[in-house]
Structure 1
Amino acid sequence: MIRENIVLFGALFANLGIAVAKFVAASFTGSSSMISEGFHSLVDTGNQVLLLFGQHRAKRPPDVRHPFGYGRELYFWAFVVAILIFALGAGISAYEGWLHIRAPEPLKDPTWNYAVLGVAFLLEGTSWSIALREFASAKGDESWWEAIRSSKDPATFIVLFEDSAAIAGLVIAAVGVWASHAFGDPRIDGIASLAIGAVLAAVAVLLAREAKGLLIGEGADHRVVARVRELVALTPGIDAVNHVRTIHTAPDAVFVAISADLDDRLTMGEGEALIERIEAALKAEFTELSSIYLRPEKRADAVPLGEMAAQRKAGG
C-alpha cells in the first residue's frame, strides 16, 4: 500500500513538516509571503489526504447501483483538490499579500525565514524528485505535456504540479524576503505573496481542466484502441469492425464496446464461442480491459436485404 502510494505519502509528510516550520517562522518574523507559504503547504497536506481517501473509495467493488465500480470517484476528489488549491491556497495568498501592501508591517530579522525556506526547499525537492521519477517511468516515449494530458491517474501528476508550484513559491518567497530587507520596503513581501497566489491559481486551473476531462469520461489510449480493432479484425469469422468505443471507469480499468460484422455462415453457438474467444484474447493482452462488450452488427455500408431484393427486381 505504502509503496503503491509512495508519491502521495512522500508529499504528505514533507508538506506537513514544512507547514509547521513556515508558520513558526512567520510568527517570529511577520512575513506575509511566509504566511502564504505556510497556508500553501497546509493546503497541499490536505490535498494528499483527500487523494489517499479518493484512492481508498475508488477501490470499492461494483454493486447494484454502480455496476462498473467506484473508480471514477478518484477523479471527483482530484477536482476537489483543484478547487481547494484555487480557493484556499491562491485565495489566502492573495488576501495576505493585499493586507501587507495596504498596511505593511515593520521589518524583522529574516534569519528564521531563510532557514525555514532552505529546509523546505530540500524537503520539497525530495518530494518533487520522487513524483518526477515515478511519472517519468510511467510516461514512456510521450512528451511531458502529452503524458500529463493522456494520464488517467491524477494522483501522480497532481503531486508533480503541487511540488513544482511549491518550489516556485519558495523561490518567490525568498526573493520577496530578501528584496524587502535590501530595499527597506515591507510591501515587496506582500507583492511576493500576490505572486505566489498567481502561481497557485494557474496550477489550480490546469489541474481543474485535467480533472474535468477525467470526470466527463476519457477514452483509452489511441494505441490501445487501434490494437483492439486490429485483434478483432484479424480474428477468423469477423468480416469487419464497425467501431471500437472505450471509456476509463478507473485509472486502471477500461470499458470497451465493439461493433463487429460476423460471418453470416456462423451459427448462433459458433458466434457465441467466437465472441468468448475474442474477449479472452483481448483481456490476455490488455489487463486494464475490465468490461468487454462485442455487439454483432452489420456494416454501416451494407445494403439491407429488403433493399437488395428491390434492387434486383428493378434490374430485371
Structure 2
Amino acid sequence: MTTETSGSLKVIYAAIAANLGIAVSKFIVAGITGSAAMMAEGIHSAVDTGNELLLLIGEHNSVKPADAKHPFGYGKELYFWALIVAMSVFSLGGGLSIYHGYEALRHPEPLQDPTWNYVVLGVSALFEGYSWNVSRKALNERRKPGASLWQTMRASKDASVFTVFIEDSAALLGLAIAALGIVLGHALDNPYLDPAASVLIGLLLVGAAFTLARETGGLLVGESIGADATRRVRDVFEKDPAILCVAELQSMQLGPDEVLLTASVQFRRGMRIDEVEAAIERLEKTVAALYPSIRHIYFESGALRSAMG
C-alpha cells in the first residue's frame, strides 16, 4: 500500500465514523421534533456514509495488480465508484431531500421545541468539521504555492480525497442552512421555513453531485497530467542530448498515482541500438524522478526507426 493510498483510507475512515454517528442522531431528533430540515440532514449523512463505503470498494479494487485482461491495472476502478457516489448524492441525497421538503411544505408540521435540533446540529458540525479537516490536510499535502484549496481540489487525481472534501463541504453548508431554517421558523413562528431549508439542502446536494460528476468523469474518460506537468516533462526530453526534437507528448491518468505517457520524438540519426536503449533508460529515470506517478513511457515506433536509419 502506497503512502497516498494510506492517506486516502484515513480520509474515508474519518468520514465514515463521523457520518454514521451523525446520521443516527439526526434521524432520532427528526422523529422527535418533526423537523423536515433535520430529516433532510439525516438523509444526507446516511447517504454520505454509504458513499464512503463505495469509495472503500473503489480503493480496494484499484490496487489489484495488472493482469492479461487489464494490462495497465485497475486504478480507474476508484474513478468509477466515485462517479457512482456522485449519482448517489444526486438521486438519494438531493432528490430525497427536495421531495421530503416539498411534501413538508404541502403539509407543514406544527412547530415544536427545537432544543434537540440545535444540540445535534452543533455536535454534527464538530464531527463534520473534523472529517472535513482531515480531507483538507490531505489536499494541502499536494497544494502548490499560491494555489487555492479549490484549485488544489480541481487538480487532484485522488478521487477518494476530493470526493470526501466536496461531500463534507456540502454537509457543513447544509448544517448552516438547516440551522437557519429552524431558527427563523421559530423566530417568525412560520412552519414553512423549516421545510424550505430542506429543499435548499437538496439543491445544494444536487450542485455537489454535479461537481463530483464533472471531476470524476474527466478522470474516468482519460484526463491528462495537465499542461504544466506536460511542459516540464517536455523540457526533460528536449534537454536530452539524444533527442533532436519532441513532436508530441500524450498522457493519461490511470489512477491517483499512476500515469501512462506516450512520446513522439526524433532521436539523433545514426545512433546504435545500445545508445538508443541507454537514452530511453536515462529519460525514464529522469522523468520518474520528476514525476514518480509516470510509471509507463512508450516511444512511437517511427522515432526509433529514424534513430537507427
TM over 0.5: yes
**Structure 1, 275-284 or 98-107: larger mean CA deviation:** 275-284
* Aligned match for 2:175, one of 166, 170, 195: 170
1: CA distance, partners of 2:136 / 2:217: 23
Indicate whether 1:197 and 2:202 are aligned.
yes
Q: Deviations over 1:233-264 (max 9, x none)?
A: 22222211111111111110010011111111
Q: Is the 8 A contact 1:262 1:296 kept in 2?
A: no
For residue 106 of structure 1, what is the aligned residue in structure 2?
Answer: 110
Displacement of 1:53 after TM fit? 1.3
2: CA distance, partners of 1:286 / 1:93: 43
Q: Give the AA of the match of 1:227.
A: R
Larger C-alpha radius of gyration, 1 or 2? 1
* Aligned match for 2:285, one of 274, 277, 280: 280
Indicate whether 1:73 and 2:74 are aligned.
no
Indicate whether 1:231 and 2:244 are aligned.
no
* Structure 1: gaps spanning 5 or more residues: 306-316
Q: Is the 8 A contact 1:261 1:296 kept in 2?
A: no
Q: Is the 8 A contact 2:8 2:160 kept in 1?
A: no
Q: Deviations over 1:72-123 (max 9, x none)?
A: 1111111111110010001111111111110111222211111111111111
2: CA distance, partners of 1:160 / 1:151: 11
Displacement of 1:2 after TM fit? 5.8
2: CA distance, partners of 1:230 / 1:297: 21
Indicate whether 1:145 and 2:141 are aligned.
no
**Structure 1, 228-237 or 210-219: larger mean CA deviation:** 228-237
* Aligned match for 1:49, one of 53, 56, 61: 53
* Aligned match for 1:294, one of 289, 299, 303: 299
2: CA distance, partners of 1:182 / 1:78: 41
2: CA distance, partners of 1:40 / 1:293: 45
Displacement of 1:3 after TM fit? 5.0
Q: Is the 8 A contact 1:262 1:297 kept in 2?
A: no
Displacement of 1:210 after TM fit? 0.9
**Structure 1, 131-140 or 19-28: larger mean CA deviation:** 131-140
2: CA distance, partners of 1:138 / 1:280: 22
Structure 1 residues 201 and 19, CA gap change in structure 2 (3 angstroms): same
Q: Deviations over 1:207-248 (max 9, x none)?
A: 111111111111113333222222222222221111111111
2: CA distance, partners of 1:148 / 1:297: 38
Indicate whether 1:97 and 2:101 are aligned.
yes
Indicate whether 1:15 and 2:19 are aligned.
yes
Q: Give the AA of the match of 2:130.
A: T
Q: Is the 8 A contact 1:260 1:296 kept in 2?
A: no
Instruction: Provide the identity percentage.
Output: 44
Q: Is the 8 A contact 1:131 1:160 kept in 2?
A: yes
SS at match of 1:265: coil
**Structure 1, 18-27 or 280-289: larger mean CA deviation:** 280-289
For residue 273 of structure 2, what is the aligned residue in structure 1?
Answer: 268
For residue 255 of structure 1, what is the aligned residue in structure 2?
Answer: 260
For residue 311 of structure 1, what is the aligned residue in structure 2?
Answer: none
* Structure 2: gaps spanning 5 or more residues: none
Indicate whether 1:118 and 2:159 are aligned.
no
Tell me which stretches of 4 or more aligned residues in structure 1 moved more than 3 Å: 1-4, 296-299
**Structure 1, 83-92 or 257-266: larger mean CA deviation:** 257-266
1: CA distance, partners of 2:72 / 2:253: 10
SS at match of 2:141: helix
Q: Deviations over 1:249-299 (max 9, x none)?
A: 111001001111111121234323322332233223322111111225369
SS at match of 1:15: helix
**Structure 1, 282-291 or 190-199: larger mean CA deviation:** 282-291
2: CA distance, partners of 1:145 / 1:179: 31
Structure 1 residues 3 and 253, CA gap change in structure 2 (3 angstroms): closer
2: CA distance, partners of 1:270 / 1:220: 29
* Aligned match for 1:243, one of 212, 232, 248: 248
**Across the two proteins, how many residue pairs are aligned to each other?**
301
Indicate whether 1:160 and 2:165 are aligned.
yes
